[in-house]
């Protein structure tokens, strides 16, 4: 099978709307969490989230286009445009045959939920006569971001959306990886976006007892593995990767960030929203990723943990890590402590973190965590407080979602 490399990155996040700004703030241990500004939270139990800041849609779309695209699609276009430029790709100079070899697999968990809410409010606030925007459906449906990226750049290769809750964009990356290595495309735009800081979404997750309620100190609310953690913090944004056939990348002289060498997907088969105490799905997914990469557990240097800061989830994941890695020297970090949980975009944004950690030989910190829960398995090396310099050759990125979906990817430092 073909080797697949990463040649471009793009990000829109609570910690910056470019990859360089985002990475600088991650290494500085900065929190992107603060009071919600998108709606009145006075009647809600949770008043904070990790919002994208200073996003200017006018730089990408005219006013007419903005009315056609939900915010999750706008984030998708912004991050994918960045990644395409970063990869040095000029699609306008490509032939139709070449464009047929370029595809898009884009993920989201909630799609255009803000559009859905807005349209139903307008309908319910009227006289019952159906008055919906002609853009309602194409703004809302989950696959539309993939379609818009394709249309924008005339990309005619494989094009679809993956939805596996908070594992969605890791699933998209694995699917894009498989597409290229099986020879079904040469270049894939892969990633995910989410814009779910809305009344219904925050209210729904709050009703499910999933969100932190630490309203007096939101910057420290996401504290993975800590005995005082009380739920995850909602985030939003997007992450985009350009995956490319290695031979094609070398032929055009592209810079190469990393090689993707493994992907593993599995299921907990346990509960709608909960995770099994033994972490069976996570264990299977990580083992499948290692087998796919044809490496052993002791070769992984850094794990970017899913680590949402939920009571059962953190324990389940690290129980699985212990089962797979034992008392190895692998370093574990939880960057959601800074970004919040970007839901369907989490896997892509955290893949960018993983790849940059690989490039710079540095493991980002887990912030806010002071006292490790005694139920967390002992003997694990969790990076707390400040970054740790380490020679990194392989990094594993975990994502898990409601419904029991698990997806793990492995990136390797590129070697000719």
382 φ/ψ sector (left φ>0, alpha ψ -120 to 50, else beta)? beta
124, pLDDT greater than 90: no
Domain assignment present for 256: no
The residues, ordered by sequence, that sit 6+ positions from 205 with a Cβ below 8 Å of its Cβ are: 211, 232, 234
Question: Could you read off the pLDDT of 346-401 as tens digits, one per residue?
Answer: 999 999 999 999 999 999 999 999 999 999 999 999 999 999 999 999 999 999 99
The stretch 273-287 carries a mean pLDDT of 95
Mean pLDDT for the chain?
97
Note whether 16 and 162 are same-domain residues.
yes
pLDDT at res. 11: 98
Does some domain include residue 316? yes
| pLDDT above 90 (res 125) | no
Residue 385 to residues 212, 224, 314, 334, 341: CA-CA distances in angstroms?
21, 12, 18, 11, 19
CATH code assigned at 121: 3.40.47.10
Is 192 contained in some domain? yes
| Residue 258 maps to a domain | no
- Statement to judge: residues 349 and 384 lie in one domain: yes
The total number of structural domains that make up the chain = 2
Would you call 40 exposed, middle or buried from its count of C-beta atoms within 10 A (0-12, 13-18, 19+)?
exposed
Q: Are residues 282 and 212 in the same domain?
A: no
Closest residue by Cα to residue 343 from 289, 396, 400: 400
**What are φ and ψ of residue 399, in 5° steps?**
-145, 140
Q: Where among 198, 228, 251 does a domain terminate?
A: 251
Range of the domain at 300: 263-412
Q: What is the pLDDT of residues 391-410, one digit of tens each?
A: 999 999 999 999 999 999 99
Domain for residue 206, yes or no?
yes
Q: Are residues 247 and 272 in the same domain?
A: no
Choose the final residue of a domain: 251, 275, 303.
251
Concatenated DSSP letters of 153-202: HT--S-EEEE-BTBTHHHHHHHHHHHHHHTTS-SEEEEEEEE---SHHHH
**How deeply is 76 buried, as exposed, middle or buried, from its count of CB atoms within 10 A (0-12, 13-18, 19+)?**
buried
pLDDT digits (tens, 9 = 90+) for 84-122: 999 999 999 999 999 999 999 999 999 999 999 999 988
The whole-number pLDDT of residue 363 equals 98
**8 Å CB contact between 237 and 11:** yes
Q: What is the pLDDT of residue 130?
A: 85
Residues 347 and 352: their CA atoms lie apart, in Å, by 9
Place of tokens 């090396």: 381
Question: How do 258-267 and 4-12 pair as beta strands?
Answer: antiparallel
In this structure, are 211 and 338 located in the same domain?
no
| 331 and 278 in a common domain | yes
Give domain status of residue 191, yes or no: yes
214 and 337 Cβ atoms separated by less than 8 Å: no
Question: Does 142 share its domain with 289?
Answer: no
Write out pLDDT tens, residues 290-340.
Answer: 999 999 999 999 999 999 999 999 999 999 999 999 988 999 999 999 999
What pTM value is reported for the model? 0.97
Predicted confidence (pLDDT) per residue in 5-46, tens digit: 999 999 999 999 999 999 999 999 999 999 999 999 999 999
User: Whole-angstrom Cα distance, residue 6 to residue 251?
Assistant: 15
| Residue 299 CB partners (closer than 8 Å, separation 6+) | 393, 394
| Secondary structure element (H or E) that encloses residue 324, with its range | helix 311-325
CA angle 390, 176, 292 (to 5 degrees): 55
| pLDDT at residue 127 is higher than 80 | no
Tell me whether residue 173 is in a domain: yes
For residues 271 and 235, state if they share a domain.
no
> Which residues, including other chains, have CB under 8 Å from residue 282's CB and lie 6 or more apart?
266, 268, 275, 306, 316, 317, 320, 321, 398, 400, 406, 408
Say if residue 310 is in the same domain as residue 201: no
Q: Which residues contact 252 (CB under 8 A, 6 or more apart)?
A: 88
Active site residue 166: yes
Residue 230 sits in the same domain as residue 287: no
Of 105, 372, 367, whose CA–CA distance to 233 is shortest?
A: 367
> Per the residue annotation, which of 26, 89, 144, 166 is the catalytic one?
166
Give yes or no: residues 64 and 156 share one domain.
Answer: yes
Query: Is the domain of 142 the same as that of 105?
Result: yes
* 46-74 CB burial, b ≥16 within 10 A, e <16: bbbbbbbeebebeeebeeeeeeebbbbbb
Q: Residue 185: pLDDT above 90?
A: yes
pLDDT digits (tens, 9 = 90+) for 248-274: 999 999 999 999 999 999 999 999 999
Q: Which of 229, 251, 273 is at the close of a domain?
A: 251
């Amino acid at each position: 099978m073909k080797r697949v490399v990463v040649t471009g990155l793009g990000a829109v996040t609570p910690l910056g709307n470019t990859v360089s700004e985002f990475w600088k703030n991650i290494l500085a241990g900065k929190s992107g969490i603060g009071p919600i500004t998108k709606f009145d939270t006075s009647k809600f139990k949770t008043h904070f989230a990790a919002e994208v800041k200073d996003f200017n849609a006018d730089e990408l779309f005219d006013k007419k286009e903005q009315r056609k695209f939900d915010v999750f699609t706008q984030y998708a276009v912004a991050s994918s445009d960045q990644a395409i430029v970063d990869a040095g790709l000029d699609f306008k100079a490509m032939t139709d045959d070449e464009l047929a070899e370029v595809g898009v697999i884009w993920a989201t968990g909630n799609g255009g939920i803000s559009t859905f809410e807005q349209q139903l409010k307008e309908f319910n606030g009227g006289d019952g006569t159906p008055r919906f925007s002609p853009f309602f459906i194409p703004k809302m449906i989950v696959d539309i971001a993939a379609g818009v990226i394709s249309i924008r750049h005339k990309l005619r290769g494989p094009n679809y959306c993956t939805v596996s809750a908070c594992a969605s964009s890791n699933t998209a990356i694995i699917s894009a990886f498989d597409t290229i290595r099986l020879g079904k495309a040469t270049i894939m735009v892969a990633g995910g976006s989410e814009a779910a800081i809305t009344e219904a979404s925050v209210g729904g997750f709050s009703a499910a007892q999933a969100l932190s309620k630490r309203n007096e100190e939101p910057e420290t609310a996401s504290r993975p593995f800590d005995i005082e953690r009380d739920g995850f913090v909602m985030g939003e944004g997007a992450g985009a990767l350009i995956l490319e056939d290695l031979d094609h990348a070398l032929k055009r002289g592209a810079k190469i960030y990393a090689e993707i060498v493994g992907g593993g997907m599995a299921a907990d088969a346990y509960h709608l929203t909960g995770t099994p105490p033994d972490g069976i799905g996570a264990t299977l997914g990580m083992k499948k990723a290692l087998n796919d990469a044809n490496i052993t557990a002791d070769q992984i240097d850094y794990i970017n943990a899913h680590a949402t800061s939920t009571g059962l989830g953190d324990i389940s994941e690290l129980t699985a890590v212990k089962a797979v890695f034992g008392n190895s020297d692998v370093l574990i970090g939880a960057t959601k402590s800074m970004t919040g949980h970007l839901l369907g975009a989490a896997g892509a944004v955290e893949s960018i973190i993983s790849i940059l950690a690989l490039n710079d030989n540095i493991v980002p910190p887990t912030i806010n965590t002071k006292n490790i829960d005694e139920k967390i398995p002992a003997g694990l090396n969790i990076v707390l407080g400040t970054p740790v310099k380490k020679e990194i050759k392989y990094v594993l990125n975990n994502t898990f979602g409601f419904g029991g979906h698990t997806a793990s990817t492995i990136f390797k430092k590129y070697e000719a």
